[in-house]
């Protein structure tokens, strides 16, 4: 897909040019530099309008993972919980980058946000990030009462690679049977490593394109790239989507993830999963974050937050009384 400037929503054009100048050509070294910048500028920053704390939990490899917890300053029991997984192509990012979204979700549903600082692909390839996110989910379930949240309304959400991890974690938790997720919001998710769709091939859209996607998948998959890739790494490869939680997502029609997101949505519907979906015309990857004041971004945000409010009224999932272990074929 060759994306010309006149194909892009007018309100999204100048932010796209600015991002293009900042990012340049995608390389592993560039991802590492951008991630270093993220760490320097964002990690550890605390919004004054939210109650925020950090928790350190053990990782299954013997290391330690940082979780950042956000909620409204007024303490109240019985809140819903959202495990929020940040984006960044699996290679970049920190939990603190999505504070604007946390504010919106907390205002909409008085929820508690738990945001893991999962291992990035520039540190360790798959399954490190998935395992870290699953460990964070298990911790959230086990500490629901301490956090003041109801354990029958735990949602998982994220954008881009965070959306990919959301879809992967929902599959993983379903197959293990150890946590019931009430609903998921994998927003423009990064879920297919194969670049076989029309939108993913030779796409030169701003912000995220075929070249960046290829570099990111190679880093994330490591030795698995080009071989037998499990669905917990690339959820588009999953054979069975039955029993997944109710889902909300959206995507722009100019970006590489358009077709894989649409295919995922259609397969969820065919599997009987309730789905809300919107396709936004003339929009590239991450448009709602990069140009939040644009009319199309406000519409996407209203859809996202509106569905979240509805889901809080409608979707609950009681936790299993015991941990049954691997119910199907869960990854080690």
The reply to whether 63 falls in a domain is yes
Query: pTM, whole model, 2 decimals?
Result: 0.95
Q: Which two tokens stand for residue 168?
A: 């992967």
Q: Environment class of residue 196 by beta-carbon count within 10 Å: exposed (0-12), middle (13-18) or buried (19+)?
A: exposed
Model pLDDT, residue 30: 86
The reply to whether 326 falls in a domain is no
Q: Which two tokens stand for residue 323?
A: 């941990």
The reply to whether 319 falls in a domain is no
Q: Which two tokens stand for residue 230?
A: 């499990």
The domain tally of the chain equals 1
Q: Which two tokens stand for residue 28?
A: 């592993």
Using CA atoms, how far apart are residues 8 and 205, in angstroms rounded to an integer? 9
The reply to whether 325 falls in a domain is no
**Domain that includes residue 98, residue range:** 5-314
Series of mean pLDDT values for 10-residue runs along the chain (332 residues): 90 87 80 86 90 96 96 92 98 96 97 98 96 98 96 98 98 98 98 95 92 96 96 98 98 98 98 98 97 97 98 97 51 48
**What CATH number did the domain enclosing 181 receive?**
3.40.50.1820
The reply to whether 323 falls in a domain is no
The reply to whether 34 falls in a domain is yes
The reply to whether 193 falls in a domain is yes
Which residue reads 């992967």 in tokens?
168
The reply to whether 332 falls in a domain is no
Model pLDDT, residue 16: 85
Q: Which two tokens stand for residue 53?
A: 């704390």
């Amino acid at each position: 897909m060759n994306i010309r400037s006149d194909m892009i929503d007018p309100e999204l054009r100048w932010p796209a040019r600015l991002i293009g100048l900042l990012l340049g050509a995608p390389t592993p070294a560039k991802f590492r530099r951008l991630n270093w910048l993220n760490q320097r500028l964002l990690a550890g920053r605390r919004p004054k309008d939210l109650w925020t704390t950090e928790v350190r939990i053990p990782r299954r490899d013997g290391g330690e993972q940082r979780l950042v917890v956000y909620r409204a300053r007024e303490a109240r029991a019985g809140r819903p919980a959202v495990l929020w997984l940040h984006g960044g192509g699996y290679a970049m990012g920190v939990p603190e980058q999505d504070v604007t979204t946390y504010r919106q979700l907390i205002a909409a549903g008085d929820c508690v946000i738990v945001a893991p600082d999962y291992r990035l692909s520039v540190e360790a390839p798959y399954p490190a990030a998935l395992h870290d996110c699953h460990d964070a989910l298990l911790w959230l379930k086990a500490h629901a009462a301490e956090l003041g949240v109801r354990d029958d309304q735990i949602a998982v959400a994220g954008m881009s690679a965070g959306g990919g991890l959301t879809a992967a974690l929902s599959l993983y938790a379903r197959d293990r049977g150890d946590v019931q997720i009430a609903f998921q919001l994998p927003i423009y998710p990064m879920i297919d490593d194969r670049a076989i769709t029309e939108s993913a091939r030779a796409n030169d859209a701003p912000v995220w394109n075929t070249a960046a996607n290829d570099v990111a998948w190679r880093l994330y998959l490591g030795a698995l790239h080009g071989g037998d890739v499990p669905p917990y790494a690339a959820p588009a490869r999953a054979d069975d989507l039955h029993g997944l939680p109710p889902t909300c997502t959206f995507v722009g029609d100019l970006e590489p993830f358009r077709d894989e997101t649409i295919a995922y949505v259609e397969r969820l519907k065919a599997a009987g999963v309730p789905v809300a979906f919107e396709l936004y015309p003339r929009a590239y990857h991450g448009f709602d974050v990069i140009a939040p004041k644009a009319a199309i971004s406000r519409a996407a945000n209203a859809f996202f937050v509106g569905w979240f409010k509805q889901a809080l009224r409608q979707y609950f999932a009681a936790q299993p009384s015991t941990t049954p272990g691997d119910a199907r074929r869960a990854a080690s």
